[in-house]
Amino acid sequence: MPKPSVIQASVKTGGKLYIAGEYSVLTPGQTALIQFIPIFMSAAVKEASRTQLSSDMFDYSVGREPDANYALIQEALNTFEAFCGEKLPTLDLSITGKLERDGVKFGIGSSGSVVVLTLKALAAALQKDLSKDSLFKLASYTLLKQGDNGSMGDLACIVYEDLVSYRSFDRVKIAELIEQMTLSELLEIDWGYRIRPVVPALKAHFLVGWTKQAAISKDMVKMAKSRISSKYLSETEVAVQAAIKALETGGKSLLKSSLQAVSDRLESLSPDIYVDKLKKLKEAEQGLDAIAKSSGAGGGDCGIAFAFDQSSRDALVERWQQVGIELLYEV
């Protein structure tokens, strides 16, 4: 059988930030609201006599032999090979666009972005059609094989490249099924997640503030997971659903109150979430027609805000700048 041919291809993927539901969504069946951030990583694939994988995150390249730094990219290749049901041809895959500056990450979803990017690049180069749903499942499968402890919400947002409402699935159950079923069987069944693009009717400036302090998301998640109660989950779910409704129906006061409720719940979970700079990012809303909060794991990285008029937007950004918070993105 002839080996599939590699056509030259380049693709890109962006990042994400949680608006609400970041810790609760770790529990299966809970909902999160996640915003796509168009700060992109790119991948280029071309034919090669031997497989070479390179990323500007590292100062060396590798082949298929296991390498700790390239583990996610290599696992994505293994996933795609299983999806195709045949060995991949030799190819050159190069990834550029670190989601960081001066060695400090933005915290907008680098590991998820890398996996989605690699799978998209392989699909383009080998001319395989991948639906968004299949891409999400393949990316989740790849991260589960690597022992990832996340909700996979970042993947949902990065795959759909949109503001999404995401209901999480039972990763322990799917990880068990990975051991028992073939990949093609797994792709056929309903995993229990729901991904729905949200179309906002509310007019607002959406702002992302970067603290320039890196958070260790895995450690933050481990610490907070042990403190999540059923009360926390039910209160957060109500607030997340209210935030989605507020965006879709144009309810400014409902968005403010629901995001404040989510923020209060986060603060009650752990004092480590609102580190000094994120506290200042939140406090900058005072007296303005705006609402701000930590985003994602907390402990650093980014926070978000909605400002409902130009003067509030300008004042908020100025206050952020005064305390060393950079406006990373706005829409």
pLDDT at 124: 97
% pLDDT > 90, the chain: 82
pLDDT at 226: 84
* CATH code (residue 16): 3.30.230.10
pLDDT at 90: 97
Model confidence at 1: pLDDT above 70: no
| 280 and 175 part of one domain | no
| 30 and 167 part of one domain | yes
| Parent domain of 167 | 9-197
Residue 155 lies in a domain: yes
Classified as helix, coil or strand, 210 is: strand
In this structure, are residues 163 and 156 in contact, taking their beta carbons and an 8 Å threshold?
Answer: no
| 247 and 103 part of one domain | no
pLDDT at 79: 98
| 106 and 233 part of one domain | no
| 41 and 158 part of one domain | yes
Model confidence at 300: pLDDT above 80: no
Cα 215 from chain centroid (whole Å): 14
In this structure, are residues 100 and 56 in contact, taking their beta carbons and an 8 Å threshold?
Answer: no
Q: Could you tell me the pLDDT band of residue 3, with boundaries at 50, 70 and 90?
A: low
Q: Could you tell me the pLDDT band of residue 2, with boundaries at 50, 70 and 90?
A: low
| 69 and 114 part of one domain | yes
* CATH code (residue 290): 3.30.70.890
The mean pLDDT value of the chain amounts to: 94
| 157 and 211 part of one domain | no
Residue 2 lies in a domain: no
To which H or E segment does residue 290 belong?
strand 290-294
Tokens of 47: 């034919």
Q: Is 107 left (phi over 0), alpha (psi -120 to 50) or beta?
A: left
| 192 and 209 part of one domain | no
Of 135, 165, 197, the domain-final residue: 197
pLDDT at 114: 95
Which range, of 14-23, 99-108, 146-155, averages the lowest pLDDT? Answer: 99-108
Residue 94 CA neighbour count, 13 Å, CB half: 11
Mean pLDDT of 34-54: 96
Q: Could you tell me the pLDDT band of residue 331, with boundaries at 50, 70 and 90?
A: very high
Q: In whole angstroms, what is the distance from residue 164 CA to residue 177 CA?
A: 26
